[in-house]
């Protein structure tokens, strides 16, 4: 419905910003807190509009991947946008993916508003639904490692080890970290 917005930051709060989009001030909850949240800066956000009986809330994400992860999280039973937002704010995309890849509910359960049962449910529901690195990046990294003399199984094991420790990386970064780990 509302895929993205582009505008100028008018106000900055702890967990939301107000963005001027052609004269309309939109309040957007954002899980990121970085230097780009400065009044007067132009910003582009991928958005998700949550509509309930009592309110409409707009969530914004710097990357499409973040928004897509948010939309996947809210499909978990008893996990709504507020809980998903807390999780995204607390761990970020890479932290969530690492917890899922490690099958570890502990980091998720440390996020405010998420208990151990919900954390375990999130792990159970999402671990098989998410791709932990783009297939293209994995294929390129594996191809490069094989060209450097790795056996196919060695390349796979090395790539998995690097991704488990690091989260999202480009093919070049994966190869570099594998070689540094030797």
The H-assigned helical ranges of 8-131 are: 64-73, 81-102, 106-109, 116-126
Range(s) of the domain holding residue 84: 64-126
Mean pLDDT, residues 12-20 taken together:
92
Instruction: Answer whether 36's CB lies under 8 Å from 21's CB.
Output: no
Residue 26: beta bridge partners?
A: 19
pTM: 0.70
Mean pLDDT, residues 121-136 taken together:
74
Instruction: Identify the residue with better confidence: 35 or 7.
Output: 7
Q: Does the pLDDT of residue 70 top 90, yes or no?
A: yes
Domain with 140 in it: what CATH number? Answer: 1.10.8
Domains of the chain: total: 3
Same domain assignment for residues 54 and 72: no
Q: Is 45 exposed, middle or buried (0-12, 13-18, 19+ CB in 10 A)?
A: buried
Mean pLDDT, residues 136-163 taken together:
84
Domain with 15 in it: what CATH number? Answer: 2.40.50.140
């Amino acid at each position: 419905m509302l895929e993205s917005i582009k505008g100028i930051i008018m106000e900055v709060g702890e967990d939301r910003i107000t963005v001027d989009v052609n004269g309309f001030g939109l309040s957007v909850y954002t899980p990121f807190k970085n230097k780009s949240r400065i009044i007067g800066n132009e910003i582009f956000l991928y958005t998700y509009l949550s509509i309930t009986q009592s309110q409409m809330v707009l969530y914004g994400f710097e990357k499409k991947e973040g928004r897509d992860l948010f939309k996947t999280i809210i499909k978990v039973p008893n996990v709504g946008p507020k809980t998903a937002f807390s999780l995204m704010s607390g761990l970020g995309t890479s932290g969530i993916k690492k917890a899922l890849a490690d099958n570890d509910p502990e980091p998720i359960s440390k996020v405010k508003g998420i208990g151990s049962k919900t954390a375990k449910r999130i792990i159970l529901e999402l671990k098989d639904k998410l791709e932990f690195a783009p297939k293209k990046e994995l294929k390129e990294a594996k191809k490069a490692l094989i060209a450097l003399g790795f056996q196919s199984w060695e390349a796979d094991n090395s790539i998995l080890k690097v991704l488990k420790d690091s989260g999202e990386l480009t093919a070049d970064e994966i190869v570099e970290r594998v070689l540094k780990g030797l």
